[in-house]
Structure 1
């Protein structure tokens, strides 16, 4: 009997984390259906897990980027620039896919009279102004608020400055990075319990009955995201690596997308993506910069959400959309998506910007945002899973294109 805890922990170490998360998912569904009263209390496990990830992610990004740049050797490739190009291409492709899907399957909305108590950006200039002020934010406040633009700015600046520091200082940054990474690994080990709590809480509180009224809208949104994940993104990756992209695509969706689906936060999923990049054998100098950047600007799912919901409002109001306006909407949605917050529901706040292109008032646009929050149980989960898994996918594709070998689990090396 005394050996039972030891055998249990050995079993956990031998079992894949993904399998454990799936077990937590199934257990959460069962508990929510059979014991709904207890499910509300168990949701605390999910809240604690997400909060732990959100707490450690800003420190991890700051430590990794600073250490990576401070200890970077001259002439050592990082491949960050081509990854940024892939991010931009993927986000723009997502907006185009959403426009086509919205034209093929026009969707109407039952706009409600109440509006969400949220102040959206007043225009693209407001978004750019916010981004600029985020860059020069106080570093301590940036860490506390999870301002990843400010965190990246300070980490990059200090990383370059520490290149001229003594060897002991550079080693200190590396040791700090390793220490924070160890804490992150401990937090991630609790992912099955976190998913269990998130599922029980969500099902017990909301259920899925509220989603039936917006089923067609959800199908267009989720269908567009799946098309991007399973068709467009693999085509982009194939263009880069000239090999079958699907082993890498499915690995990223399985290892990164599942946890992102439940945490619903690209920022909170940064530690998971860091670990996946490490297991794939990618260069730390590359992914320690590209993954935090991707969580901030690689928002293909957000571009789809902004475009589909905007065109749903346009269709509801009977506004005619010509091809040039659709192209302009795609560009605007891609730019707006890059400014989407890394937290749950961040893309919804930028819908009024896209609606303004068609002269839709702010009051009506905020009603569309309210609809977005109603379907956010599914929409935001799928969107975050797409965004976060694509960060790793494009990082790995760029590394392979530059001659690196990536170890895809259960598959041959790519």
Structure 2
């Protein structure tokens, strides 16, 4: 039976993923309210979904890092140094903002009695966090893959990726194909997110009560508020420092023409043609935007930095782990680097949460549950995140182009 031959299956594929996840969320709430016993039995669906995410996340991180570094294009560097500085500064400031807001308005997540009783040895301070990081960095690659040691996987991914930059084009193409194949498997798993969210929400609410909905709402408000602050305050400030003129005309244009399409597609990669057209219409430097738009869609991820930071600190807070200022700053750096590796698929940043959680000794079982919760609120969060990521590309490229054009005019007048 093909999906085109049955009306119900045809309807399933015709309706978008966001409405399906929203429906799963609503049905989960209703079931938890109507029958606690049936709702608890739905933990099987939520568990299967979380286990699927746990199984694919480590290999996804490793392959994406290898593929992106090995296929990095050398040659034309049209203003790349300034742009890369803006990209990283934007992500770092976004992570710092998310950290401060998370401390001022702390969020909590309920994991259930079983997970809360799991073995956990929280770090006592920055020295323990650094020791954990260093131990994970030098882990055996096979062991890192089996035990979902994301820090070790990233280090091995960077090393192998750098080595493969000198490999043949055939080998690089193979890595790209492998990256696509793993991403395709992730997309299949994400297609089952409505069922997973239904089971997760129903069983969680049945076990912890409806107070959990308030925690979800609080988490969502913190995430969206941080993203709006970055879009309207931090990005314009960074743009002004480069272009030295009022950036808000550029900012509002990018929000209107780039953020809105990205909000609905939930994919920075899918929004590349849109951003190309905006840059062309605004008469930006073609040598800059032709390289910078695809690059920004891959590595400029302020929204992802916020998501990873807020959800990690919500997990840390829920597990009653103390975080000192040095560990918080280190988290911002790790988060900014992780954000660069967020895959181009919807919800890609969520799959990197275990990397940040592992800094604090949080086991994979708990961080996988956080991914599931992130997908549940991703109906809004992921759309806003993608809108921020994509519009930031246009703002930063426009700022650099304006600065370049101003410099050229000044030079020609001398």
Q: Is the 8 A contact 1:121 1:353 kept in 2?
A: no
Q: Structure 1: how far apart are the matches of 2:103 and 2:232?
A: 21
Q: Structure 2: how far apart are the matches of 1:86 and 1:114?
A: 43
CA 1:278–1:303: 2 relative to 1, 3 Å: same
Name the structure 2 match of 1:139: 173
Name the structure 2 match of 1:92: 92
- Secondary structure at the aligned position of 1:266 is classed as coil
Q: Structure 1: how far apart are the matches of 2:12 and 2:372?
A: 24
Q: Structure 1: how far apart are the matches of 2:298 and 2:342?
A: 8
How far did residue 112 of structure 1 move?
A: 5.2
**2:80 aligned with 1:80, yes or no?**
yes
Q: Structure 1: how far apart are the matches of 2:252 and 2:321?
A: 39
Name the structure 2 match of 1:221: 223
Q: How many residues align?
A: 288
Q: Is the 8 A contact 2:148 2:364 kept in 1?
A: no
CA 1:96–1:225: 2 relative to 1, 3 Å: same
How far did residue 395 of structure 1 move?
A: 0.8
- Secondary structure at the aligned position of 1:255 is classed as helix
Q: Structure 2: how far apart are the matches of 1:218 and 1:126?
A: 30
Give the alignment partner of residue 123 of structure 1, picking from 150, 156, 162: 150
Q: Structure 2: how far apart are the matches of 1:119 and 1:112?
A: 25
- Secondary structure at the aligned position of 2:15 is classed as helix
How far did residue 125 of structure 1 move?
A: 3.1
How do 1:241-256 residues align onto structure 2 when only pairs under 5 Å count? 241-256=243-258
Q: Is the 8 A contact 1:82 1:398 kept in 2?
A: yes
**2:274 aligned with 1:272, yes or no?**
yes
Q: Structure 1: how far apart are the matches of 2:359 and 2:328?
A: 10
Q: Structure 2: how far apart are the matches of 1:221 and 1:297?
A: 20
Q: Is the 8 A contact 2:284 2:402 kept in 1?
A: no
How do 1:150-189 residues align onto structure 2 when only pairs under 5 Å count? none
Name the structure 2 match of 1:390: 392
Q: Structure 2: how far apart are the matches of 1:119 and 1:268?
A: 32
CA 1:84–1:320: 2 relative to 1, 3 Å: same
Q: Structure 2: how far apart are the matches of 1:371 and 1:330?
A: 22
Q: Structure 2: how far apart are the matches of 1:216 and 1:297?
A: 28
Q: Deviations over 1:265-319 (max 9, x none)?
A: 1111111111111111112211111111111111111110000001001111111
Q: What is the root-mean-square deviation of aligned Cα atoms in Å? A: 3.5
Q: Which runs of 5+ in 1 are unaligned?
A: 1-36, 48-64, 148-201, 406-414
Q: Which runs of 5+ in 2 are unaligned?
A: 1-8, 20-71, 116-144, 165-170, 182-193, 203-211, 408-414
Q: Structure 2: how far apart are the matches of 1:268 and 1:102?
A: 31
Q: Structure 2: how far apart are the matches of 1:212 and 1:235?
A: 35
Provide TM-score, normalisation by structure 1: 0.62
Provide TM-score, normalisation by structure 2: 0.62
Q: Structure 1: how far apart are the matches of 2:152 and 2:279?
A: 35
How do 1:1-400 residues align onto structure 2 when only pairs under 5 Å count? 42-43=14-15, 78-111=78-111, 122-131=149-158, 133=160, 136=164, 137-139=171-173, 142=176, 146=180, 212-213=213-214, 214-400=216-402
- Secondary structure at the aligned position of 1:127 is classed as helix
Q: Is the 8 A contact 1:234 1:249 kept in 2?
A: yes
Q: Deviations over 1:323-343 (max 9, x none)?
A: 111111111111111111111
Q: Is the 8 A contact 2:109 2:314 kept in 1?
A: yes
Q: Is the 8 A contact 2:259 2:387 kept in 1?
A: yes
